[in-house]
Amino acid sequence: MKSKQRILGIDPGYGRIGYGVIEGDRNAWVHVAHGCIETNTKADFAERLVELKQDLLAILKKYQPDKAGIEQLFFAKNVTTGMKVSEARGVILLTLHEAGIAVQEVTPLQMKQAIVGYGRAEKAQLQEMIRIQLLLKKRPTPDDAADALGVALTAGLLMKR
């Protein structure tokens, strides 16, 4: 098995879905790409899910990840929004499974502990540590993409070879 891995991290949503791609091994990771998939706010929900799947497939084709990490949902203040994010997360998981990509689910607590060393770290602390670990000149933005890079880093640490 090759020593370097390419990992896609995903911060799930349905309006804006963060993604981050890193490459390396458990000791050293480098930034490949990050950004957001944004679905059409004027489309109905089912069409947005189709758009999400198509855009995710394009990312998979472009970056050819070996593995993926996806953030687990732990609560939602708004149940309707939480259900829609859960449905989008299902589309993401199904798309990754159909593509034959192993998935590591990551909780926000795991991400903070793995990257900052403290489970109650603030978002700014997390983003700064992501910047340092990936040797970026500035903190990654937007927040969804930064979170996705954090998910990718954490998945890289947690995944079995």
- The residues that are catalytic are 11, 71, 144
- Count the neighbouring beta carbons within 10 Å of the beta carbon of residue 67: 20
H-type alpha helices, the chain: 45-63, 79-98, 108-115, 123-133, 143-158
Q: Tokens representing 41?
A: 């706010």
Report the distance separating Cα 136 and Cα 97, nearest Å: 31
Helices (H) and strands (E) in the chain, counts: 5, 5
Q: Backbone phi, then psi, for 44, in 5-degree steps? A: -75, 165
Identify the CA nearest to 69 among candidates 38, 111, 26: 111
CA angle 15-106-101, nearest 5°? 80
